[in-house]
Amino acid sequence: MKILFLGDVMGRAGRAAVVEQLPRLREEWRLDFVVVNGENASGGMGLTGDHARVLLAAGADVVTLGDHAFDQKDMLRFIETEQRVIRPVNYAKEAPGKGARLFEDRRGRKVLVTQVLGQVFMKRAFDDPFSAMDTVLRAHPLGGQAQAIIVDVHCEATSEKMAMGHFCNGRASLVVGTHTHVPTADAMILSGGTGYLSDAGMCGDYDSVIGMEKAEPMRRFVTGMTREKFSPARGAVTLSGVYLETDDRSGHATRIVPVRVGGHLPPSAPV
């Protein structure tokens, strides 16, 4: 199976780049399944139902969220009506929506998509991500119930993400980090056959501070004072993420390639 995962889409510019580029990438790279992280797609904070529809219509099979899952209040209702939006599995017991779900690609192959939040340096103390992910993976054996399993590990710390990668090794096709908005250079296939990348990066303007216009975050760092709200940067967008090929029988990764298309970062693509 040929899978593309795109990191956090930042605001209007990020959405526009996904709409413009994803249909072409789907075709050119003969993608079977696409997952897009949408937690920052609406003004940099959260995701509205309308913007979720835009990402799905552009070619995302599933949209994942993150710690900003419900920053846009209409997501509280929208997620109950749209199965293709996945929130973190360990967000809160009362949270609407689901943190793991089985989907089908166009040829009927089953793909499990799940997301989990880390605990290190996150704003809130979320439930233990490791026991939460263990429960999900035990219920959906790779190569049995699911031909491919994609784990979006939404964390600040690379150490926690790497630990999650090894924790899922052999049990998931891909463990990919999101949340920091900065892509890492450690794409690899772990010993048990799990594709791994500490962070997918963002689909946003990298001439920024993690996707926000530079002036306000720099002011806050330099002076300690706040003047305005953050707003997503609007320059040239790099679509960042990871491309994965898997073996349908085992569900294991056979090839992993970092993806960077357009904008300020050096390009990387599977073809």
Residue 105 interacts with Fe ion (CB under 5 A): yes or no: no
Q: CB under 5 A: which stretch of 33-41, 74-82, 139-147, 245-253 binds Fe ion?
A: 33-41
Q: CB under 5 A: which stretch of 28-36, 158-166, 177-185, 252-260 binds Fe ion?
A: 177-185
- Longest Cα–Cα distance of the chain, Å, equals 56
# of chain residues touching Fe ion (CB under 5 A): 6
Radius of gyration for the alpha carbons in the chain, expressed in angstroms and rounded: 17
Residues 209-268 that bind Fe ion (CB under 5 A): none
Q: Which is nearer to Fe ion, 29 or 70 (CB)?
A: 70
- CB of 108 vs Fe ion, minimal distance in Å: 32
Residue 171 interacts with Fe ion (CB under 5 A): yes or no: no
Amino acid at 164: M
Between strands 237-246 and 204-205, the pairing is: antiparallel
For residue 83, what are its two tokens?
């199965």
For residue 41, what are its two tokens?
């797609």
Supply the residues annotated as catalytic: 68
Residue 179 interacts with Fe ion (CB under 5 A): yes or no: yes
How many residues in the chain?
271
Q: Say if residues 149 and 139 touch (Cβ distance below 8 Å).
A: no
From residue 136, give the alpha-carbon distance in Å to each of 95, 98, 100, 128.
17, 11, 7, 13
Q: CB under 5 A: which stretch of 113-121, 167-175, 176-184, 230-238 binds Fe ion?
A: 176-184
- CB of 245 vs Fe ion, minimal distance in Å: 26
Instruction: Give Cα 19 to chain centroid, integer Å.
Output: 16
Residues 53-72 that bind Fe ion (CB under 5 A): 66-67
Q: Which is nearer to Fe ion, 121 or 145 (CB)?
A: 121
Pick from 5, 8, 89, 171 the residue near Fe ion by CB under 5 A: 8
- CB of 216 vs Fe ion, minimal distance in Å: 17
Q: Which is nearer to Fe ion, 32 or 67 (CB)?
A: 67
For residue 127, what are its two tokens?
């439930």
Q: Which is nearer to Fe ion, 177 or 251 (CB)?
A: 177
Half-sphere exposure of 106 (CA within 13 A, CB side): 11
Residue 199 interacts with Fe ion (CB under 5 A): yes or no: no
Say what the alpha-carbon torsion angle 39, 45, 49, 55 is, to the nearest 10 degrees: -50
The b-or-e profile of 150-171 (16+ CB within 10 A means b, else e) is bbbbbbbbeebbbbbbebbbbb
Residue 40 interacts with Fe ion (CB under 5 A): yes or no: yes
- CB of 123 vs Fe ion, minimal distance in Å: 9
Tell me which residues touch Fe ion (CB under 5 A).
Answer: 8, 39-40, 66-67, 179
